[in-house]
Chains A and B, each alone.
Chain A
Amino acid sequence: MGKFLRDTWLVFQRSMLLTLRNPTWVVVGLAQPLYYLLLFAPLLKKVRAPGMAGGDAAFAFFIPGLLAQLALFGTLFVGFGLIGELRDGVIERMRVTPVSRFALLLGRALRDVVTLVAQAVVLVVISVPFGLKVHFLPLLLVLALMVLLAVMGASVSYAAALILKSEDALAPLANGIAMPILLLSGVFLPMAAAPGWLQAVSRINPLRYGVDAARDLFAGRVSTAAVYEALVILMALTVAAVIWAARRFARSVA
């Protein structure tokens, strides 16, 4: 166990170092939600829909959507880096060392978690002057949800990268699933406003639970069904995704 943690930490350190050396993507990833925050969120103050309050409360409604967007686009594309490392033989080189195979995956996923949580904190801080009210425990829970989403999304992306082994195949896949997942989580307007069939479809979208829970949390409600539901579902899915990706990791790079 000690070795496993040490290995994970090593892989994390290396990945983080390389991310910090070329932080363009971290900044670019934050740009899109910021545009929405500055150029779109003010419109919502006057919009009325079921499950949506106007005025400053619009931010408590809209920030969870932006965080979801951040989580989705910040993690689904991490597989690209892995494909580059595969091609350059970096993964192979590490696999011949006694390093734990799980650590090769988790160290990288941990980097993605740190990146995403940092982006989320920046986004929340910038939202405060706009009227977002932040309380300590709810914010902590929101960040916990972000951690789960990051590990899950990154694992899925890494597993897909290992299966497809090509950027040309990964790009359309990631783009193809990102948009429906985003829209089906009620990012821009509450899913409560959707017709029955659309609501039903959105129920199979894990991100929706995260968004619903984050809305409760930013509204100051901690102990709600949506929060528990999101924690349980996302935790289960995260564990499943990690196991899947770790298996692919151990098996691939033939």
Chain B
Amino acid sequence: MIIETKALRKTFRSRRGTVEAVRGVDLAVPEGQVFGFLGPNGAGKTTTLRMLSTLLSPDGGEATVVGVDLRRNPGEVRRRIGYVGQNGGTWREATAREELVMQARLYGSAKAEAGRRAAESITAFQLDAFADRKTTTYSGGQKRRLDIALGLVHGPRLVFLDEPTTGLDPQSRSHVWDEVRRLRGEGMTVFLTTHYLDEADALCDKIAIMDDGQIVAEGTSDELKRQVAGDVITLGFGPDGAETVGTARKLVADADYVRKSEEAGTELRLYVEAGATAMPMILRELDGAGVTVESIELHRPSLDDVFLHQTGRSLRDDAA
């Protein structure tokens, strides 16, 4: 495991009272994966990320990051990780090349080596066209690419990306996704936070859903969807199927692979654990009883369904 935490917590105290931002997070992130933290604003994602990247010191719990005890030796953790903050972190008067060279030198590279690393990053992240212009002239997508390049200039095995695509146009967004996939392909571990469902779905090998300072669900995108809602199979019985629905329901509702059933007009909705295995069994059962099915449809629940189920709230309301 490249990241392991036990009961990690952080409480903020201010004049207005105390906020338990992170209330006991247990994590195990395997190396070489894209691990996503999904949750609405204020869920504690960023606070957890900032603790793991040494920007905040935890109030309780333990964490090991790239083999180093986070609380005992944050300096060594810093050497081994990359971090790209929400605001990026480039100065408007500097050029991409200057920032990359400086960043490499801050990580201890000598001047010549820093120049070489900067040149490599410029090629890898396709910054060539604007590398020697001031960052103030960059588009949102160009700046984001530079931000990510800066977080990786020292060649860490693990990089933290805090909401890497927030505020980007769709094209830049997919460009960032490509970069993340490329990094994963090179064997890096990417730990990112997002409040976009499609982003977590598309990019992450494993997702932890966070709400109110705690992890409420964890697994692969498919596991999460299955674990919470299973698959949804909708059977249609045609315009005159009102009676058939009831008959069909009696036949299959009690089968051990059906969790829940629901009648909606001439349609029967079945919540099953795994749609692909349940579907043929349902059809065999109905066919054997002489019930004619007019249409059949298999839905996979979305991560939003998962979030809704776990927290009672829709993620979309918060993310807007």
Contacts and interface: CB of A to CB of B under 8 A. Distances in A.
A85 interface: yes
B64 interface: no
Nearest to B88: A89
Interface stretch (B105-113, B209-217, B265-273, B278-286): B105-113
Contacts of B87: 87-89, 92
A85 B87 CA distance: 11
Contacts of B88: 88-89, 93
Contact of B78 (A7, A92, A98): A98
A248 to B, nearest CB: 16
Given A18-B91, A98-B75, A89 B106 contact: no
B103 interface: yes
A163 to B, nearest CB: 14
Contacts of A88: 87-92
B83 interface: yes
A90 B102 contact: no
B201 interface: no
B78 A85 contact: no
Interface residues of B, number: 28
B54 interface: yes
Interface residues of A, number: 22
B85 interface: yes
Contacts of A14: 94, 102
A85 B91 contact: yes
A93 B146 CA distance: 12
A97 B106 contact: yes
A98 B108 contact: yes
Nearest to B82: A96
B221 interface: no
A129 to B, nearest CB: 36
A37 to B, nearest CB: 31
A89 B93 CA distance: 14
Nearest to B101: A14
Contacts of B105: 10
B106 A99 contact: yes
A254 B93 CA distance: 25
B56 A254 contact: yes
B94 A18 contact: yes
A87 B102 CA distance: 19
Given A98-B79, A253-B55, A92 B106 contact: no
20 contacts: A10-B105, A10-B106, A14-B94, A14-B102, A18-B94, A88-B88, A88-B89, A88-B92, A89-B88, A89-B89, A89-B90, A90-B91, A92-B55, A92-B85, A93-B89, A94-B106, A96-B55, A96-B83, A97-B78, A98-B107
Given A89-B86, A92-B87, 9 more contacts: A85-B91, A88-B88, A88-B89, A92-B55, A92-B89, A96-B53, A96-B83, A97-B107, A98-B78
